[in-house]
Amino acid sequence: MGLFDRFRKKIKQADEDYGITVEDGSVEAEHALQTRESLEAEKRRTKEQKDPVEEGNSKSETKSDWDEFEDEVEDPFQKPSSSKERKLAARDLALRAAEKPRQPPREVNAMDSTTGRRLIQSEMKFEIDISEHETKKGGMVISGGPVLDSILEDLKDELLSSDMGHEASSELIDSLRAHLIGSRVGRGARLDEVVERALKGALLSLLRSGYWDFDKTIVDLVSSESPVVIMMVGVNGTGKTTTSAKIAKRLDDQGFDVVLAAADTFRAGAIDQLAAHADRLGVRCIKSQRGGDSAAVARDAIESARAKGDEVVIIDTSGRMQNKANLMEELQKVHRVTKPHLVIFVADALAGNDAVTQAIEFQRRLAFDGAALCKLDTDARGGAALSISHATGRPIILIGTGQGYEDLEPFDPNWLVDQLIS
């Protein structure tokens, strides 16, 4: 049952019993219109205050996080071989760090990757047209009041129970309230349908932030640079290795020559697991022994792909808990050495709010371009997808819908919203 089902009768009954809608031109209607203007003005003020400060800062932090350790992480291919060389290198490092000018914050466009490369915007339409219920003059006006507030609070509780975070659900309900109060609707309009369509629009607005098309972006990147490097990141057990194999299958089916890099040299069996996937898919896998240098493995894969004319390299990295600074720095080392075109964060839909917490921390420390959400076929709630998009400003772009290699699909926000609503 969708989260809106139980409220349809409640909304209709409340309007009949308490008059959530009032006659256009009445005192109550004028008050509702004034309330709407106040809510819209407050929303504009909030946006003006947030954009230059909070969003600007978060974007600049996001951009610089990968580069924070740029001069501190050793490149395994340039490691000094002697004690004297290491001392000279350390001295040179200190001098360069002291002389390095501080760069002003760089604002990242929503349709740019974290490395500044262009992401191709999806052609999906997100707008919900409610004009069929609206009228310019006459008819009824949604007045709001305690009854509507009670209904919206019930909706908020349902969103929270669907694993949507508190901040995201509060913002959505506030947006919904501001949209509804003061809206003019025809006399024959059903209030439950008006609220439902407004809710769909509000949910989609959370999911469309920075939304880009994975397949078209790969095509565009390959046409200008080769090989295209995709780095997979996330915590332990979220499905990075399987998702890496699924992406390899998807791109191989599209005619790209793909190389898998077994850079998870930490987890027991991870290298063999990825190699087995590669054998089944008929793609190459570059690997080393367990405990080897993951950055070196990734670099070898890129150099091998470049030498053989392969077009895409997918780097399967070790799972890292987001609160382990030393382990996260190892990922930064891989990023510095490989300079990936795209960073994909892999999350488990069943983790709920834990997945949101992980995404927030990874985005803060290791900025990613989009998320792949695994096991969404087993999660009827979907609140994690909404909250990840809201909290990080980066979209869900791929979803896992089963165990097979072909069970990886571009994320369709409209599909998720329909699942939640209907």
Give per-residue pLDDT as tens, 250-268. Answer: 999 999 999 999 998 877 7
Q: Do 156 and 380 contact (CB within 8 A), yes or no?
A: no
Residue 44 has pLDDT above 70, yes or no: yes
Burial (CB < 10 A; 0-12, 13-18, 19+), residue 216, is middle
Number of independent structural domains in the chain: 1
Is 416 contained in some domain? yes
- Is 323 within the bounds of a domain? yes
Q: Which run of H or of E encompasses 379?
A: none
How far apart (Å, rounded) are the C-alpha atoms in residues 338 and 342? 11
102-126: pLDDT as tens digits: 443 334 445 788 888 889 987 665 5
Q: Which residues contact 362 (CB under 8 A, 6 or more apart)?
A: 233, 234, 322, 345, 368
Distance (Å) of CA 44 to CA 49, 207, 259, 328, 390? 9, 21, 48, 38, 19
Cis peptide before 227 (omega within 30 of 0): yes
Whether the predicted pLDDT of 127 surpasses 80: no
pLDDT value for 321: 64
CATH number of the domain bearing residue 403:
3.40.50.300
User: Cα dihedral angle (185, 155, 201, 11), rounded to 10 degrees?
Assistant: -20
Nearest Cα to Cα of residue 295 among 259, 268, 263, 271: 263
On whether residue 316 sits in a domain, the answer given is yes
The answer to whether residue 73 sits within a structural domain is: no
The stretch 80-86 carries a mean pLDDT of 50
DSSP E strand stretches across 270-319: 284-286, 312-317
Identify which of 135-144, 147-156, 398-407 has the greatest average pLDDT: 398-407
**Residue 37 in domain:** no
Instruction: Identify whether 228 is part of a domain.
Output: yes
Segment 291-315 shows an average pLDDT of: 93
Each residue's pLDDT tens digit, 366-375: 889 999 998 8
> At 22, which helix (H) or strand (E)?
strand 21-23
List phi, psi (to 5°) of 330.
Answer: -65, -40
Between the alpha carbon of residue 259 and those of residues 94, 102, 237, 252, 293, the distances in Å are 37, 37, 22, 10, 18
Asked if residue 231 is part of any domain, the answer here is yes
Instruction: Indicate whether 74 belongs to any domain.
Output: no
What range defines the domain where residue 400 resides?
214-421
112 phi/psi in degrees, rounded to 5: -110, 145
